[in-house]
Amino acid sequence: MNSTIVIILIVVAVLVLALIAFLIIRRQRYVRALRGRGWTFESSPALESVLDHHAPPFGLGFVRKVDDAISGHTTSGVPFRVFEYEHDGEPRFDDRVASVQLALPLPDLFVSTEQAREGVQLSAVEIDPRFQVHAADPGYGRAAMSGAVLDAMATFGEAGRAIDLSIDGQQLVAVGAPKNPRNCRPISSSWARSRRRSTETLWRGTR
């Protein structure tokens, strides 16, 4: 074999190994950053770990997958999870999702600043021109989007974040969560601060 070709192959192999080593080191640092915050990281969690979620994007498609799951507690002690979720429905879904546990289960509710989430079949409720709200009961939807909840939405939507939130039983869910652990803490903490007042308002709306 020509010596030039051999040298090229060796150089390419070294570059590939260097890239692999870089990616491994980067992932190790990422996992250490998570654990340093007292959170748990699971690279390939079982689908059963998110079966307490039922509203879209969950429950759609035949092939569903969970990946790179982070779990822990906010600074105020509220349980939360952040994970990659994928399904093969139409259209296919592949995005990062975060969920914060509410104080008690509530009816489904969807709120977004852009188009409604795929798979949502609940009726639209006209409340605030900034948000698209979908709920089974208009009264519940209006009670849900009270001043306190709107303030919480505005806080979450700061820095130009698109809002795609839902209440799924006892989980407050957001599609498009950040992967960087430094960005997860302020979001999870802000949810925790608004969780109590929002839950109380929503609960009154269901009675």
pLDDT single digits (tens) 51-66: 999 999 999 989 999 9
Query: Torsion angle of alpha carbons 111, 112, 115, 120, nearest 10°?
Result: -30
Q: What is the 3-state secondary structure (H, E, C) of 29-96?
A: HHHHHHHHCCCEEECCCCHHHHCCCCCCCCCCCCCEEEEEEEEEECCCCCEEEEEEEEECCCCCEEEE
Q: Which amino acid is at 12?
A: V
pLDDT digits (tens, 9 = 90+) for 120-179: 999 899 888 888 899 888 888 888 777 777 776 776 666 566 788 888 988 888 888 766
pLDDT greater at residue 73 or residue 55: 55
Residue 162 or 97, more confident: 97
Query: Is the pTM above the cut of 0.85?
Result: no
Per-residue pLDDT, 41: 83
φ, ψ at 163 (rounded to 5°): -95, 125
pLDDT for position 202: 54
**Which whole number is the average pLDDT over 38-48?**
86
Closest to 10 measured CA to CA, from 1, 26, 21, 22: 1
Helix (H) or strand (E) holding 20: helix 3-36
Is residue 83's pLDDT more than 60?
yes
Mean pLDDT of the chain: 75
Under the banding of pLDDT at 50, 70 and 90, the label for residue 24 is very low
CA–CA gap between residue 80 and residue 82 (Å, rounded): 7
- Check whether 118 has a pLDDT greater than 50: yes
What is the number of helices (H) and of strands (E) in the chain?
4, 7
* % of the chain residues with pLDDT over 70: 66
Confidence category of residue 48, pLDDT binned at 50, 70, 90: very high
Residues 95, 85 contacting (CB under 8 angstroms): yes
**How far is CA 63 from each of CA 69, 92, 179, rounded to the nearest angstrom?**
18, 10, 23
